[in-house]
Structure 1
Amino acid sequence: MRKIAAVLLIFTMLVIASCGSSRSAAGGKVYDKKAVACYYADKFNGKKTASGEKFSNSKYTAAHKKLDFGTKVRVTNLKNNKSVVVTINDRGPFSRGRDIDLSKKAFMEITDNKNHGEITVRIEVLN
């Protein structure tokens, strides 16, 4: 009987501890539940980002208006649940209604429609 009571107590404590948490099952802190992602045009390859790094559409990077440079975020497509981890190294996007600019490689990895330039995503901060 004591073992059952102990197991129930531990289970209850775990449930209470997890209540109200904004962490996802994979360990990231949800930053934006519903954001719009797009991707960089190829004309930006080789140009300097706001962080000073050289931009490459073949890397896993992104631009965000507020997140610190170097922040790793998981971006998950809400339609197909595919996700990618990118590092923030630039500012933007500067188009109204868009929340994050992904490198083309990152965007193409999570989209189902390669001909559409926007997807709805969840953004989770990992560090």
Structure 2
Amino acid sequence: MKRLIKQAGAWCIAAGCAVLFTGCASTSNDSKTIALLPWHRTAPVDHAGLQAALPPAGSGRGAYYQDDGPGTNPPPELYLVPDAVFKDEPFAKVGNRPYSVFGQKYTPMLDNAPYSQQGVASWYGVKFHGSRTSSGERYDMYKMTAAHPTLPIPSYVRVTSLQSGKQVVVRINDRGPFLSGRMIDVSYTAALKLGLLKKGRAHVRIDRILAADAAKVVALRREAPADAKSAPRQATTAF
């Protein structure tokens, strides 16, 4: 279910709801008795070229909480979706005010200071697809976005799997996760690219990307030799 937080008079969705693997808080006590919609009862399908199909949402067999999980018809070749591209955006008017969940207070950062953190990443999917995020935008599980308790909305981070070394860049546009031990909730596509869809979670490091970092990358690309520019690049450029 959605976690509803009253934040300075406005209700917002917490990313990923008091879950075992998508992690975020719910103020409801009936999260285990949600009526499953028809699309929850479908058979497993091949998800973006995974070697094995993921259990469908609502089956209780996946590394995600009950009625959350993958969609039944994900777009093809999601692993080719480009990482989020840094934009120097103003902070959102909503989603950046102090708030409390389960008695714990959170104060979002409102600066442009460097930030790094290590912890557990999880992902959230079809249960929240199309719902409003804490930024007021609609959650799209097939875009490169993520939820974090305190990083500014919007902001950008590089997420690195400490097991595989895989990296992605995502745009923070939501709040959560709020389950103890979870640090960041990434979208379905980001989880696919990080290799954590089936496992449900992974130990990662996040590094905030600032305007100066993005400017350095642009400068390096401009200075690169012509043959280097034409060569294939990795999905994520290290900052």
Q: Deviations over 1:41-71 (max 9, x none)?
A: 3110000000001001000000000000111
The answer on whether the counterparts of 2:123 and 2:197 sit within 8 Å (CA) in structure 1 is no
Partner amino acid, structure 2, of 1:31:
S
Q: Could you tell me how far 1:109 is from its partner in structure 2? A: 0.3
Correspondences of 1:1-127 after superposition (within 5 Å): 29=114, 31-32=116-117, 34-111=118-195, 114-127=197-210
Note the residue ranges of structure 2 that are not aligned, 5 or more in a row.
1-113, 211-239
What corresponds to 1:26 in structure 2?
A: none
TM-score (normalised: structure 1): 0.73
Give the structure, 1 or 2, with the largest relative contact order (CA under 8 Å, sep 6 or more): 1
Residue identity matched to 2:124: Y
- Structure 1 stretches (4+) deviating beyond 6 angstroms? none
Report deviation, 1:30: 5.1
Q: For residue 110 of structure 1, report the CA deviation from its aligned partner.
A: 0.9
SS of aligned partner of 1:108: helix
TM-score by length of 2: 0.39
AA in 2 matched with 1:73: V
How far residue 96 of structure 1 moved from its aligned partner, in angstroms, is 1.3
SS in 1 for 2:207: strand
**Percent of aligned positions that are identical:** 43
Tell me the distance in 1 between the aligned counterparts of 2:154 and 2:204. Answer: 20
Separation of aligned partners in 2, 1:118 and 1:73: 17
In the aligned structure 2, how far is the partner of 1:120 from the partner of 1:88?
A: 18
Could you say if the C-alpha distance between residues 48 and 96 of structure 1 is closer, same or farther in structure 2, counting changes exceeding 3 Å? same
Aligned to 2:198, what secondary structure does the other structure show? Answer: coil
Which protein is richer in strand relative to its size?
A: 1
Aligned partner of residue 141 in structure 2, secondary structure: coil
Q: How many residues align?
A: 97
2: CA distance, partners of 1:78 / 1:110: 10
Name stretches of at least 5 consecutive residues in structure 1 with no aligned partner.
Answer: 1-28
CA contact (8 A) 1:30 1:122 kept: no
For 1:79-113, what per-residue CA distance to the aligned partner results, in whole angstroms no more than 9, with x for missing partners?
111000000000000211100000010011011x5
Structure with a larger share of its residues in helix: 1
Report if aligned partners of 2:188, 2:197 keep a CA contact under 8 Å in 1: no
In 2, distance between residues paired with 1:60 and 1:77? 16
Residue type at the aligned position of 1:118: R
Letter in 2 for 1:71: S
- Distance in 2 between residues matched to 1:65 and 1:114, nearest whole Å: 21
